[in-house]
Amino acid sequence: MSTIDYSDKIPNNVNLSEDRTLQRALEQWQPNYLQWWDDMGPDGSQNFDVYLRTAISVDPQGWAQFGHVKMPDYRWGIFLNPAEKDRKIHFGDHKGEAAWQDVPGEHRANLRRIIVTQGDTEPASVEQQRHLGLTCPSQYDLRNLFQVNVEEGRHLWAMVYLLHKYFGRDGREEGEALLERRSGNEDNPRILQAFNEKTPDWLSFFMFTYFTDRDGKFQLCALAESSFDPLARTTKFMLTEEAHHMFVGESGVSRVIQRTCQAMNELKTDDPARLRAAGVIDLPTIQRYLNFHFSVTIDLFGADQSSNAAIFYSTGLKGRFEEGKRNDDHVLKGQTYRVLEVHNGQIVEKDVPMLNALNEVLRDDYIADSRAGVERWNKVIEKAGIPFRLTTPHKAFHRNIGALAGVKVAPDGRPVSEAEWAANVDRWLPTDEDRAYVASLMGRVVEPGRFANWIAPPVMGINRQPVDFEYVRFN
């Protein structure tokens, strides 16, 4: 079970060859996927040999293998964590019953929607990032970008497998639609707004992989609890890959900060204009990017009160983050949770039924996890002896979904008037000028071991290779 069969056209550990109909359906989808990769995958890089990790097993020890591969030849496949014997549903109204190996008819529509929504984010991020290779700050970073991209492609495979295997014709149609929507396209956009935003530069990319891939982690963790066992097993293995994406984001931003602090100390200044003249990204600009990506990402968790969230939980489709580690009844009826609301221009707390507030519960868990990494960034600034702190904005800041949408709130959580917002928004969110400046830094650095001026080299290379290893052969 833990070893992956690579002799099949589609690598898998689900005995695909024993299910001829499914195998044929997926083999028909495969060329369409490759066509999508060709059209929308990393721009101008199909012929590069990239030092990629490929899953070869789902054994936590030694699950991946590294080697130079052309991305279109990457062995995208279907890998599920091993089944847990006699797994039981451990939350919601069906608690204690056997986990489902098939989709119960009454939950079919909701499960399909959950899987499609998750699946849609995977190709979306590849589309958002497709031009970044042209302006990479180093070979090391270029390789990491491509690694993230091929794995998001594999995550799409993971969801399409579930759609094909368990949802019949509807599932196959959804599989096609996942290749047809396009990030940012007016007529046929991706489902969630954060996945229609642009990722125009590498600071955005690092913020995106730090904040938005972390949303992925929390969604996948919630789905890894699902009563629908194949979904739980698929998402568990996706989480193994996801950890690297967040590492790319956290270490990327950290290296940008490190380089900026170095320049601040050399020039003995915190003047953004002088730092920009020196070609580094000033800390207030980094804070504005952080504010943007944080606020756009927390919208992804949905409305703070949602009857769908209650249904998804009670029916056992989607659990909470670390459901198994919580000490409550895992049914949550009669319990309450605090959400924020706006009353006469003031933000007030309000107790609501917890089941309806489960989006907010997941969002709050996400926020706590996000803050931990921001504190690690602050350590870099502190170590450089610079009196500046990055902060995550208040969760009511710059929101577009739920009760907080439409109210103007400062990053510190103070409700402000339209006029005050307009007078200050340039200090709170990236301006066109910020974005133009960051864009002006983006040049292509590809000699092994060389790094763009605005970012520090990493401490270590990938898979114990040296930092100046030839991670990408351009051919």
- Answer yes or no whether residue 53 interacts with Fe ion by CB under 5 A: no
Write the CB contacts of 243 (distance below 8 Å, at least 6 apart in sequence).
217
Min separation Cβ 215 and Fe ion, Å: 9
Of 399, 434, 396, which is closest to residue 415 (Cα–Cα)? 396
Residues 100-129 that bind Fe ion (CB under 5 A): 122
Q: Does 245 participate in binding Fe ion (rule CB under 5 A)?
A: yes
Sole binder of Fe ion in the list 143, 155, 255, 394 (CB under 5 A) = 155
Nearer to Fe ion, 118 or 315 (CB): 118
Q: According to DSSP H, which parts of 268-282 are helical?
A: 272-277
Of residues 63 and 100, the one with the C-beta less far from Fe ion: 63
Q: Which residues contact 148 (CB under 8 A, 6 or more apart)?
A: 125, 129, 209, 213, 244, 245, 248
CA 116 to chain centre: 16
Least Å distance, CB 213 to Fe ion, is 4
Least distance in angstroms from the C-beta of 439 to Fe ion: 24
Interacting stretch for Fe ion, rule CB under 5 A, among 103-111, 238-246, 261-269, 351-359? 238-246
Where in 382-421 is the site for Fe ion (CB under 5 A)? Answer: none
Q: Which residue number, 111 or 124, has a Cβ lying nearer to Fe ion?
A: 124
CB of 42 to Fe ion, least distance (A): 15
Nearer to Fe ion, 160 or 396 (CB): 160
- Nearest alpha carbon to residue 350 among 338, 335, 336, 364: 338
Shortest distance, CB of residue 348 to Fe ion, whole angstroms?
Answer: 36
Q: How far is the CB of 128 from Fe ion (least distance, A)?
A: 12
Q: Is 363 in the site for Fe ion (CB under 5 A)?
A: no
State whether residue 379 is helix, strand or coil.
Answer: helix
Minimum CB–partner distance for residue 182 and Fe ion (Å)? 18
Least Cα distance to 469 among 135, 142, 46 occurs for 142
Kindly write down the DSSP assignment for every residue of 40-86, as one continuous string.
HSSTT-TT-EEEEEEE-B--STT-EEEEEEEGGG----B--PPPPTT
Among residue numbers 174 through 213, which ones bind Fe ion (CB under 5 A)? 213
Q: How far apart are CA 11 and CA 373, in angstroms?
A: 35
Closer to Fe ion at the Cβ: 115 or 263? 115
Residues in the chain: 475
Q: What is the contact surface with Fe ion in residues (CB under 5 A)?
A: 122, 152, 155, 213, 216, 242, 245
